[in-house]
Amino acid sequence: MDTFIEELQYPIGRFKVPRGITQDLVNQWIQEIDILPKQISQAVKDLSDLQLDTPYREGGWSLRQVVHHLADSHLNSYIRFKWALTENQPIIKAYDERTWAMLPDYEAPVDISVHLLTSLHQRWVILLKSLSSEQLKLKFVHPETKAKIPLNINIALYAWHGKHHLAHIEGLKERRGW
Report the share of the chain in percent with pLDDT over 90. 97
- Residues 59, 107: Cα–Cα separation, whole Å: 17
CA 95, 96, 98, 100 dihedral sign is negative
The domain locations on the chain are 22-176
* pLDDT for position 4: 82
Q: Identify the CATH number of the domain defined by range 22-176.
A: 1.20.120.450
**pLDDT one-digit tens code per residue, 46-87:** 999 999 999 999 999 999 999 999 999 999 999 999 999 999
* pLDDT for position 5: 83
* pLDDT for position 3: 83
* pLDDT for position 85: 98
Judge whether residue 1 has pLDDT over 60. Answer: no
